[in-house]
Chains A and B, each alone.
Chain A
């Protein structure tokens, strides 16, 4: 694994009832790689992501360290596309810059180039309501990338899409996020196997790291890939074990 971009040490977080969600959880997220956090629903994957994003709605102890420290500003993509229905696709992609008052002509050109790379050319001025589900999620991906952050946090970004659109978007995402530290939360083993440089499997109560898989090949990988075949059954076994 490459040098860690995020180091989580002895993280303890409890529900309001006092029951622990994490207890002394420690894990590393490699720099410039896509790390998938895989685990059953309710194991705390999304909470972990929100905590890294700096959300203030939690009481926790332990340490979340960013390397370098200034990389703690992140870009976020969730399951819902969260496109603003009154803005065009281009303006949605530029939302972060607009909100920070940093909109420039050069950024607009950059957004247009990104839209072309995201295979949405010709739809720059379209409203989200006229786009398909896949196109909307692709726009959300471009908005996330447009932030130009060194750390991308993705919370089940493709789970609401149909199988074919999901695969296309996973491949596009792998292509566009290459070299950027990406933390992707998913409960879909196939997605993790396709997209990750590294898979961290969370499970149990309180949640702990059940296993870690580091891949030799670059994502995206197809289902016929040797490494996918190698890890598929053990991964499913681990997930099912926790499910039972």
Chain B
């Protein structure tokens, strides 16, 4: 059913796109129709796939490192109220400064390779993961904590067996948001300075007025972002098995 829905949605969007091109008569160098883009996809498939590998690696590495850092930051803030007072402003600042403004600096610091793009993705992912996990842990039912205390549990055991599992649904929400925005970091980083990746290839095609190739790269990026999002969603549904997946 979900596959059929996805197929119909894609088909609908393609038809709308084609209609827009036909009705407005926009020149192909501004908005090419779906067929020329499909053609470009077929012609440049090999190169696009090569660049996709770079971008996908940057996104996945960024997700892993960003999640690890975000979760560690949230845990540290829960364990130590003193450190929390120091870390909370840093957490807010990490989100307040636009990552686009930091991109040139990161490229300067980490070079034109993958490291600067991964750092960009990490910066974008860090906040939603850290903030949601921290809030989830902070909102653990106080009656549960009291029950654990009466049962004679230590602070560490309470954290391990009650606080962290209680916060997993909130953590998952943050991770889902992070997975959806992670490609932004990688692509912006590639735009600022790189020698490979889908962002780089889009700029390359733009310089040559190959708008159909740009759209083909965008399509590949969209499918990749969707696949990463659904893979994480699938994984989280299995890890947090007690959470109802069907709601309103």
Contacts and interface: CB of A to CB of B under 8 A. Distances in A.
A99 B242 contact: no
B29 interface: no
A96 B151 CA distance: 5
Interface stretch (A32-40, A68-76, A159-167, A175-183): A68-76
Given A85-B242, A86-B165, A86-B242, A80 B152 contact: no
A121 B146 CA distance: 29
A82 B153 contact: no
Interface stretch (B109-117, B122-130, B154-162, B211-219): B154-162
Interface string B141-156: 1011011101111000
B54 to A, nearest CB: 38
B157 A101 contact: yes
A211 interface: no
A96 B152 contact: yes
B162 A84 contact: yes
A54 interface: yes
A84 B158 CA distance: 12
Contacts of A61: none
A176 B141 CA distance: 28
Nearest to A56: B149
A50 B142 CA distance: 13
B247 interface: no
A146 to B, nearest CB: 10
Nearest to A79: B143
Contact of B153 (A55, A99, A129): A99
A243 to B, nearest CB: 27
A212 B150 CA distance: 28
A98 interface: yes
A127 B242 contact: yes
B143 A78 contact: yes
B246 to A, nearest CB: 12
Contacts of A127: 242
A49 to B, nearest CB: 11
Contact of B147 (A82, A85, A98, A101): A82
B244 interface: yes
Nearest to B240: A86
Contacts of A73: 152
Interface in B215-244: 240-244
Given A55-B146, A80-B143, A100 B151 contact: yes
Given A84-B165, A86-B165, A100 B242 contact: no
A176 to B, nearest CB: 18
B152 to A, nearest CB: 5
Please indicate which of the listed interface residues B147, B165, B168 has the most CB atoms of chain A within 10 Å of its own CB: B147
Nearest to B166: A84
Interface string A119-142: 000000001010000000000000
A95 interface: yes
B145 to A, nearest CB: 10
Interface of B: 141, 143-144, 146-148, 150-153, 157-158, 161-162, 165, 168, 240-244
Given A78-B143, A80-B143, A86-B242, 4 more contacts: A55-B146, A86-B241, A99-B151, A129-B244
The 6 nearest A-B residue pairs measured at CB: A99-B153, A96-B151, A85-B242, A76-B150, A86-B242, A99-B157
